[in-house]
Structure formats: C-alpha cells, structure tokens
C-alpha cells in the first residue's frame, strides 16, 4: 500500500474548510462549535486506544485519521474566529517538544528514560510557573485537566502530590486505608444517607486508584480489563443458557450464579478458584 503523499494533510484542511463554508458547506458541520465537537474528540481518542489494545493496525490507521480530523475541525473553527490556525497548533507542539528534550536538541547528557521522566516533569512544572507569573498561586496540582476520566485524574493528582512527598510509603498502608474506607461505606449505608454513600464510595475509589499507582498500573486500564472480563463472561452465560433452551433473564439468581461458576471454570487462562 503506497504511503499518502505530503499533500494529503493540505487536502484534509481544504475539505474541512469546505465543510465549514457558509456558501455550500455542510449544515451539520456549520452548526458545530468547540463544545459540541469536544465529546467526539474524546470518543475518537478512546477508539484509538481500543484499536491499539486489540492490535488492529488497519483500524488504528482509520481511528488516527478520525482523531486527526478532530484536530483540524477545532483548528478550523479557531481560525474562523481569529484565534489560531492549525499551523499555529503544529508550531506550538514543535516548540514544546524541542523545549522539553534539551538532551536531544541541545547538549546530550546520557540520561536514562527515568531520568528523562523526572526532567520532563521539572520542565512542565517550570512552564506552569511561568504561566501563572501574574501573581496567582502555583500548586503542584496545576494543569491536571478537570475533564479527564475520574480514575485517570485521580492517578494524575496522586502522582503530582507524591512528588511533594505526600504519599503512602508502602502498599500495606494503602490496604489499611482501603479497609477504613470500606468500613465508612458500610456505616453510610447503615445510616441510609445517599450523599454520604456517594462521598464514601468516591473515597474508596480514590484509594483503589492509589493502590494501582503504587504498582505502576493504570487504574483506567485495569477497570477496562475488568469490564471486558465481565462482558465476556456475561455473554458466555447467556449463550450457555440458550444452549439448553433457557432464557437467561428468566433464571433464578441461584441458577445464574451457577452458570457464572461454570463459565469461570471453563475459561482459558483462569488463575484460581478465587478469581472473580
């Protein structure tokens, strides 16, 4: 398959401009603004991640194209409003990458990957400080986007806090905190206070995210895998019920649990009887 020519990006820009042209453009595209397009941008990023997880490189190519379209779409709207162009976007990221890699584009220093991570974070911290040079307070938590998925944002907040020394020192401390938070969830349930239940469940999830971070695991990925495992097993239960002429939703909870156990037992790669 021949690679795309360098003019393909220019063609994409021209297509987006035509779609947004008040004279003969697409009515749907013309109705959009930054806020209405933002959910599609997030969705496309997740579809890229899904294609990577499934190692489907044909689909990855297509999904990266969809994500690139989002960049061009936002840039076209910004250009129309006189804010910036897609060239400005490219210029900004080019400058940022050079600035954050002085060991590559400046003087080589033989740093390791972990050393580069530390230096990267130090440079980012300085950039945040420069942005708030107008007298505003500077926090180690500045720059953690509020729109991130909650588990991902929890991990990033915890990483930032840990760089200041505010962190648990070992997994046992986190497990102890999990027990404490689980007890507080039980107390809130016993009291029947729905707001307190929500608050305590949030605390519990926050601590779980910290436990994942302690082992350098991404809690978002861990939960995605748990979702996939549940979906796989649930669909298998439905098929198992159907194979014996039964409708899964018509079964008693006891019979459904029996099917769950059957599916777990027969699943390839199952670790142990305690695997949930």
pLDDT of residue 273: 47
pLDDT per position as a tens digit, 246-272? 999 999 999 999 999 999 998 876 655
User: Crossing angle for the helix pair 171-191 and 194-214, nearest 10 degrees?
Assistant: 170
| H helix intervals, the chain | 7-19, 27-31, 34-53, 57-80, 86-99, 102-105, 113-131, 150-162, 171-191, 194-214, 219-243, 253-266
What is the value of pTM for the model shown?
Answer: 0.65
Whether 242 contacts 253, CB under 8 Å: no
Q: What's the pLDDT score for residue 103?
A: 80
Local confidence band at 1 (pLDDT 50, 70, 90 cut-offs) = very low
Say what the pLDDT of residue 245 is: 95
Ranking 67-71, 100-104, 160-164, 223-227 by mean pLDDT, the lowest is: 100-104
- Cα 10 to the chain's mean position, in Å? 30
Is pLDDT above 60 for 236?
yes
Q: Quote the mean pLDDT of the chain.
A: 88
């Amino acid at each position: 398959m021949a690679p795309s020519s360098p003019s393909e990006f220019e063609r994409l820009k021209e297509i987006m401009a035509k779609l947004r042209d008040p004279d003969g453009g697409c009515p749907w595209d013309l109705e959009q603004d930054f806020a209405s397009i933002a959910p599609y941008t997030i969705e496309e990023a997740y579809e890229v991640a899904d294609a990577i997880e499934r190692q489907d490189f044909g689909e990855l190519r297509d999904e990266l194209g969809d994500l690139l379209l989002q960049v061009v779409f936002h840039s076209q709207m910004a250009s129309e409003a006189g804010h910036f162009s897609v060239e400005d976007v490219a210029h900004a990221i080019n400058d940022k990458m050079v600035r954050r890699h002085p060991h590559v584009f400046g003087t080589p220093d033989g740093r390791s990957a972990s050393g580069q991570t530390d230096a990267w974070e130090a440079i980012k911290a300085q950039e945040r400080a420069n942005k708030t040079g107008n007298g505003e307070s500077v926090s180690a938590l500045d720059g953690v986007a509020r729109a991130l998925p909650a588990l991902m944002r929890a991990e990033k907040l915890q990483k930032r806090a840990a760089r200041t020394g505010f962190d648990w020192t070992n997994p046992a401390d986190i497990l102890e905190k999990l027990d404490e938070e689980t007890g507080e969830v039980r107390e809130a349930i016993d009291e029947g206070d729905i707001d307190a239940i929500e608050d305590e469940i949030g605390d519990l999830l926050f601590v779980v995210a910290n436990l994942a971070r302690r082992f350098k695991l991404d809690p978002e990925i861990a939960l995605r895998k748990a979702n996939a495992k549940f979906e796989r097993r649930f669909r298998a239960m439905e098929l198992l019920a159907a194979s014996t002429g039964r409708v899964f939703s018509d079964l008693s909870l006891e019979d459904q649990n029996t099917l769950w156990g059957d599916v777990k037992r027969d699943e390839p790669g199952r670790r142990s009887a305690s695997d949930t």
